[in-house]
Amino acid sequence: MKGVRMLAKITRREFLKRSGAVATATTFMTLAGGKPTFVKAKRAVIPQNMKKGKTYVTVCPYCAIGCSLLVTVSEGKIIDIQGNPDSPINEGKVCSKGAAAFQLVKNKARQTKVLYRAPGASEWEEKDWDWALDRVAERIKETRDRTFIEEKDGARLMVTPSIAHLGGSTNENEWLYLHIKLLRTLGIVNIDDNARLCHASTVPALSGSFGRGAMTMAVQDFYHSDLIIIMGSNMAENHPIGFQWVLKAKEERGAKVIVIDPRFTRTAALADQYIAIRPGSDIVLLGALIRYILENEKYFKDYVLNYTNASFIVNESYQDTEDLDGVFAGYDPDKGIYNSKMWDYEREERPAAEKEPETLTEKIADTLRKGPPKRDMTLQHPRSVFQILRKHYARYTPELVEKMTGIPEATFYELAETIIERTGRDKTASIVYSMGWTQHTVGAQIIRAGTILLGLLGSVGRPGGGVAAMRGHSNVQGASDFPLLSNYLMGYIPYPGQSARTLEDYLLAVSKPTGWMSNTPKYVVSLLKAWFGEAATPERDFGFDALPRAFGDHTLFGFLDQMNKGSIEGLIQMGQNIVTGGQNASFIRTRALPKLKWMVVVDPFLTETATFWKDSPEVKAQELRPEDIQTEVFFFPAAIFAEKSGSVTNTGRTAQWRDKAADPPGEAKGDLWFTYELGRRIKKLYASSTLQRDWGIRHLTWDYEPEDGGEGPDIMKILKEINGYTVTDGQHVKTFLDLKDDGTTACGNWLYAGSYPEPGHNRLADREKGEGYSLNWGFTWPANRHILYNRASSDMSGRPWSENKKLIWWDAVEKKWTGLDVPDFPVTKAPDAEPKAAGIGLDAHSGSAPFIMQPDGVMQLFAPLVDGPLPTHYEPVETPVGNLLYPKYPHNPVTVYYRDINELHGVANPSYPYIITTYRLTEHWHGGAMSRNVPWLSELMPELFAEIAPELAREIGVKGGDWVEIKTERGRIRARALVSRRIRPYVIDGKIFQVIGLPIHWGYAGDVVHGDITNDLTSIVGEPNSRIHESKVFTAHIRRLETST
């Protein structure tokens, strides 16, 4: 069939063989004389337990590909875990970590007792759950009551400023929902999770360009790509089972694979073309590609003219970085911020309303309505977005690329021509990125540059085309949808700030008059009804007053800064190990955590965070003493993925259900049980309060008792609340189209409306493998649409751009959109439908406006972010070279600095001449707690190493296997030298610069392997749109050590 193809099969053994991921019984980590000497590691034979038992379906707990696993249980014990061959995502294949998932569950390092550390104590005490939960509830209440702020400087706050929460991204959506509900009602605004550290910059970038801050395609859709550019990702190593679809496209369909990376990786080894690039120079290359396509008129003209804002005219106050030597109009150098109103469009007059608004949604939208942007369909107006793009990137030439990135001119031309050859009406390209793009002070703008490139090529919303944000935690997508993040309510609705005294104030600040998000009032009111039930009346603003308001920097780095200053007293950590996973980790151990009065840790393992007061290097060196650390610590042992139920959402937005296969060992409990029981205790403590500030806690809906009288909570009751229901009769809503703004519907997260459309049908647990995108496998938000913006797969008349790339199309007979995916468009809206002049929502869009989330229905090539409307090259905050484009502004001018926390090296610091880039390994996982405690994985990669080029090895007198010390202003670590041609020096502006590669997975806790913490070197600094850090590039010094001590 044409369009979306049937997917051929590949065996697991064959895939692993091709990807170079077959695990051997040797390790390359000990090197001598610069040449590998392979050392035998203890062979772990994974037992194939043939004992029959009952099989349960779950999802792998490691990366976000969403590999389905089969768990076999006999006599209540897990005896086997294997890949699920029925899954359309992994087809039974697993990587090394998935293969070791059995040992993650059956692991002697797991904690099975509740532990308590009294202030100043040097050892743990065992406690029972009731005592510890009661004590935590009392600590939360005491801290909240003493520090609560209702009003400040005339602003309504309703906040508990002295408690912070840090969560993980492997826990299930149902727990995320319940936990956020409790935290927000307690007034807690200092909330963050792993998503801040890995993909926080993805959301503003992708939502700025397209409307939604998520991957635009399904994992399997790589198969339909004609060109796959992997840049900022080592997909074969970090997402190996997702990479199978890249291999299939390459080997079965002839797709070209191009890898652009500072290191020659496993991914690069399987590419058609590998291009080495200096860390931190991505925008130079992407900008030059944009320029090349524009100047040679190789863009997809019909797509660009009709489906992007290329024709929009920007107002006269706009000035470009080319006009102002490196900044855009509206820059305030004293505050380090922009006034983005200077970048607005020139607009037509606001049309008069055709009728008086009746509903809250209509009232808000009508108040916000503006005239539509003026357009020049010839693209010749000097202030059209098209011409502004040309001007902005005019100096991003092939010569500049070679000078600033190290990529030869000839290589650039070859790359540009390959991209042009592989895109158009009958071909599409996809871009794959991960933390190699996100973890920069220009992270959002790197991603934006990639989206502009694909927009010009006409590859978004079409089979095999789009932007693939490869996320690294099994539910980091879900942890963004259900945000344990300070800056969002459910479903990416911006969180209320201190200017929102009333619900109407808030809705006017976050709603859009046109496009899909004009429906924001329906989603917010339905959320408030879900949280406060019958008490959420119109007279009480549906309980809006109970929500705390954001009033500062409540991200991870913001509240670490507050910890250092002593204003945060209590910290709750669930599924996060900040002492290895957080930047400037030595600061966290020595100046942040020790100043807490109390801390809660919920985890399967005793992590470095849980034991900072006892086992840290500073305590071992007697620089800190346990008796001087007055932090009261509560440790609760947690269940692991196969021991609990709930849904997780993969990087392609597909949510799948985990079945509980067995009970956890000892006294370990699931996170959902923990939150439910803690909430019950807190509600009991506040039951008799008559204070207004406690209204939300007293009226918080918390009735999740199972009907059979068993142990709560009933997860299906939580799922029903998330899905949504009608208030009068409790009937499940079928879709977010059913939600209202008058209090007649309740819904915990509008994106997941329709995931549980009727009793007995949990679509998250659907497991029917079918053709194409397997539409009945799990539930893909929104509304089970797998390819976002898929209206763009057809031309303006509704016909596919080519038969080869058909996806959805207009059926003139049936008068509806149909095809191979669920249309991401009003199903009955004809292609020739005209926009209503004074319309709100989608009525303001024509029938050929594919990007329904955007106010104007088109992709935004020019999109106002916090740091500018167009991606611009700035050097990292630590760099050996200046900004050759804009010498006056070497760094992003609106970077967020935390100067009380750490010192930075700046530009060309002679004490730190070497560039460092960090990365992950197949055999380990992030901060390491879920891999360094697993012998099967640890024996494959037992030691921390520093990857250096032979030239650098000679310069510092090092041979392979020698110990080296790497040092920054934040700290110093030791590692083995791995001398390799996979990493290389770069000639930048005529000078040679060496690069060091460092993996991130080691620490001092655990039973199997240990090593220094790479994040002792990194700095705390914030990308301005998201406050993500910049650990993919910084500078350091390296020297040879005689020994490891």
Residue 567 falls inside a structural domain: no
Residue 889 falls inside a structural domain: yes
Residue 796 falls inside a structural domain: no
CB atoms within 10 A of CB 332: 12
- In this structure, the strands spanning 598-603 and 632-637 are parallel
Expressed in percent and rounded to 5, the helix, strand and coil fractions of the chain are 30, 20, 50
Residue 545 falls inside a structural domain: no
What CATH code is carried by the domain that includes residue 345? 3.40.228.10
Residue with tokens 């809006």: 544
Which pLDDT belongs to residue 1044? 65
Q: Are 838 and 845 in contact (CB under 8 A)?
A: no
| Average pLDDT of adjacent 10-residue blocks, the chain of 1045 residues | 42 38 30 32 40 92 97 96 97 97 96 98 98 98 98 96 95 98 98 94 98 98 98 98 98 98 98 98 98 98 98 98 98 97 97 93 97 98 98 98 98 98 98 98 98 98 98 96 96 97 98 98 98 98 98 97 97 96 97 98 97 96 96 98 98 98 97 98 98 98 91 95 98 98 98 98 96 96 98 98 97 98 98 96 98 98 98 98 98 97 97 98 93 95 97 98 98 98 96 97 93 98 98 98 78
Domain boundary among 474, 496, 529: 474
Which pLDDT belongs to residue 51? 55
| Host H or E run for residue 996 | strand 995-999
- In this structure, the strands spanning 337-338 and 654-658 are unpaired
Phi and psi dihedrals of 726, rounded to 5? -85, 135
Structural domain that includes position 889: 878-1041
Domain boundary among 443, 458, 474: 474
The DSSP code for 140 is H
Number of domains, the chain: 2
Q: Based on the number of CB atoms within 10 Å of its own CB, is 816 exposed (0-12), middle (13-18) or buried (19 or more)?
A: middle
Residue 689 falls inside a structural domain: no
Query: In sequence order, which residues have a C-beta less than 8 Å from that of residue 342 and are 6 or more positions away?
Result: 315, 317, 318, 319, 328, 329, 330
Residue 963 falls inside a structural domain: yes
Sign of CA dihedral 50, 51, 56, 60: negative
Residue 427 pairs in a beta bridge with 424
Q: How far apart are CA 820 and CA 800, in angstroms?
A: 12
Domain boundary among 474, 509, 539: 474
Query: In sequence order, which residues have a C-beta less than 8 Å from that of residue 706 and are 6 or more positions away?
Result: 712, 713, 714
Q: Are 675 and 646 in contact (CB under 8 A)?
A: no
Q: Are 278 and 993 in contact (CB under 8 A)?
A: yes
pTM assigned to the model: 0.95
Q: How far apart are CA 719 and CA 748, in angstroms?
A: 9
Which pLDDT belongs to residue 1006? 86
Residue 320 falls inside a structural domain: yes
Looking at the chain, how many residues does it have?
1045
Cα–Cα distances in angstroms (integers) from residue 423 to residues 233, 416, 459, 524, 862, in the given order: 21, 11, 7, 41, 22
Q: How far apart are CA 213 and CA 224, in angstroms?
A: 22
Q: Are 59 and 644 in contact (CB under 8 A)?
A: no
Closest among 151, 727, 204, 143 to 438, alpha carbons compared: 204
Residue 105 falls inside a structural domain: no
What CATH code is carried by the domain that includes residue 945? 2.40.40.20
Peptide bond preceding 782 in cis form (omega within 30 of 0): yes
